[in-house]
Amino acid sequence: MNIEILQRENIRRLKSYSSARDEFSGRKGIFLDANENALGSAIGEAVNRYPDPRQSDLKWKIAEIKEVRTEQIFLGNGSDEAIDLPMRAFCEPRRDNVILMPPTYGMYTVCAEVNGVEIRLAPLTPEFQIDVANVMQVVTERSKILLICSPNNPSGNLMRSTDIEKLLREFPGIVIIDEAYIDFTTEPSWLYRLDEFENLIVLQTFSKAWGMASLRLGMAFAHPTIIGILNKIKYPYNINGVTQRMALDALERVPGRDTMIQTLIAERERLADRLKQFSFVERVLPSEANFLLARFRKARVVYEKLLERGIVIRDRSHLLHCENCLRITVGTPDENETLLKTLEGIADASENSLY
């Protein structure tokens, strides 16, 4: 597949912004090029200089841990930037389209609409799996991007690898696999097949397993040609220096992350088992993420009663195949126990109103 041809014509012609710092390969020097405040900062911290626009040290460490090459890595201001930029790079507004498979992550729709890109839908099956035939049926000659969330949000399940591989081989554009929750499953990431598919972008994040949602740091892995295009159109300093330093520190603490993952998985299973014991819970879907999707008899009633008691979960009932479903993030052991005790109290107080 010729990735260059898939680009929008104006992006192909674009000369990206560059600074004098891009032309300097050293680490120390007298920097009088960027109109920074050379005296320091008002808070006394070393934040007066612009951060490394290439995030070189951070990419090197990520490449080591993920077993990829640095030229296969793009870092974004959250995964949302890595969702938005391919649409800006490859989709001509009011001409091209993206394929979405609802129910799925809502930001895909937002990014497409902001960029003026047509959305074509190929819904998941009632068991939240890909209907490959339906996907290919809605594809047109103007289809540029296919978005797959696996593990899927809100259902928590992995998509079948055979279905994804078939789409990677047959879809005529870019296939983005969003793996925000991949650390909570034992199945392998699609990272390890990057060299096999030139049209593949894999998204991961520091927000979930790494517990760094406040820093807003997302990762995209792809063929160097795609990474080069994303780097060409990103803002020059899209990852701030504090985030880069803290992420580097986190990457030295992989065992701590792994411990958190194991705790969350154990709590996920405990929470699922306990939820199944409530008579007003009809089904708890198997999950490969750090959340559960559960079908209640009267989901909105339960949602509102929890909210009244200061427990915030997510009502997903309006989504396709999610009637009367609530999405529950796995909390700390104490938070999960409080949720379960609160549900017991709601059940006792509600008598027949939940049935």
- Residues 234, 81 contacting (CB under 8 angstroms): yes
- Could you read off the pLDDT of 129-160 as tens digits, one per residue? 999 999 999 999 999 999 999 999 999 999 99
Residue 45's pLDDT band (boundaries 50, 70, 90)?
A: confident
Question: Can you give the length of the chain in residues?
Answer: 355
Amino acid at 24: F
Helix (H) and strand (E) counts in the chain = 12, 11
| 253: Cβ contacts below 8 Å, ≥ 6 apart | none
**Residue 355, pLDDT score:** 61
Determine the Cα–Cα distance for residues 339 and 334; give it in Å rounded to an integer: 9
Give me the residue spans of the domains in the chain. Answer: 3-252, 255-350
What is the pLDDT averaged over residues 272-295?
97
- Could you read off the pLDDT of 58-77 as tens digits, one per residue? 999 999 999 999 999 999 99
- Could you read off the pLDDT of 175-231 as tens digits, one per residue? 999 999 999 999 999 999 999 999 999 999 999 999 999 999 999 999 999 999 999
**Residue 2, pLDDT score:** 85
CATH topology of domain 3-252: Aspartate Aminotransferase; domain 2 (3.40.640)
Please count the CA atoms within 13 angstroms of the CA of 177 that sit on its side-chain side: 28
**Residue 28, pLDDT score:** 80
Alpha helices in the chain (DSSP H): 3-6, 9-13, 56-66, 78-90, 107-114, 132-138, 161-170, 224-233, 241-250, 254-275, 299-308, 333-350
**Residue 46, pLDDT score:** 87
Please give the CATH number for the structural domain made up of 255-350: 3.90.1150.10
| pLDDT > 70: percent of the chain | 97
Q: Is 274 left (phi over 0), alpha (psi -120 to 50) or beta?
A: alpha
Residue 20's pLDDT band (boundaries 50, 70, 90)?
A: low
